[in-house]
């Protein structure tokens, strides 16, 4: 097992003093820098350029940055959620380490979408059927991987086939689940 202990520290989000959420700084006791190219292969939708020493991705509304000796996770509700995220990250890193012989490392990967790009392909009706107040809010939650694009029921209607196909293609290329 590569990592058997993580050192977790929760901090307030400095740029948002009224926020009730926390960021986690997770210090690693071992250097996992040589594992980053393998993690880049396994983590869908991440951004990684070999030599930068950092891999970034979004997961359930959290921005996660993995570095050689530290991991940061944004927008956590409390210590319980932070500890759960630590456990998931530790399990994933250890699993990738154990399987690295069968994983082809990735040296460059950029798979980012932005909310405006997703929004442009939505019907832009602001109907609220998806549970969000606006199509832009829905697009932002799709990009942050909190919602799936198929949650837009109007987009699934026949008259929006071309928009839907373009969006599905973009999402697939960026390794998003539909």
Distance CA 39, CA 3 (A): 14
Distance CA 90, CA 13 (A): 23
Residue extents of the structural domains in the chain: 6-109, 115-173
Cα angle at 119 between 110 and 49, to 5 degrees? 10
Fold designation for 6-109 = TATA-Binding Protein (3.30.310)
The pTM score is 0.75
Per-residue model confidence as pLDDT tens digits over 124-169: 999 999 999 999 999 999 999 899 999 999 999 999 999 999 999 9
What CATH code would you report for 115-173? 1.10.15.40
Per-residue model confidence as pLDDT tens digits over 87-114: 999 999 999 999 999 999 999 887 678 8
Indicate if 115-173 has the same CATH topology as 6-109: no
């Amino acid at each position: 097992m590569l990592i058997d202990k993580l050192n977790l520290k929760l901090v307030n989000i400095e740029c948002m003093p009224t926020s009730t959420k926390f960021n986690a700084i997770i210090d690693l006791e071992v250097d996992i820098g040589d594992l980053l190219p393998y993690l880049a292969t396994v983590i869908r939708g991440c951004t990684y350029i070999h030599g930068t020493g950092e891999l970034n991705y979004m997961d359930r509304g959290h921005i996660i940055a993995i570095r050689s000796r530290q991991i940061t996770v944004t927008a956590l509700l409390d210590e319980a959620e932070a500890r759960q995220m630590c456990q998931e990250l530790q399990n994933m890193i250890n699993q990738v380490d154990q399987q690295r012989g069968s994983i082809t490392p990735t040296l460059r990967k950029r798979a980012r979408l932005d909310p405006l790009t997703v929004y442009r392909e939505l019907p832009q009706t602001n109907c609220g059927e998806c549970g969000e107040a606006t199509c832009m809010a829905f697009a932002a939650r799709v990009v942050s991987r909190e919602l799936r694009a198929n949650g837009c029921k109007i987009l699934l209607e026949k008259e929006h086939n071309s928009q839907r196909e373009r969006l599905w293609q973009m999402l697939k290329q960026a390794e998003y689940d539909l």
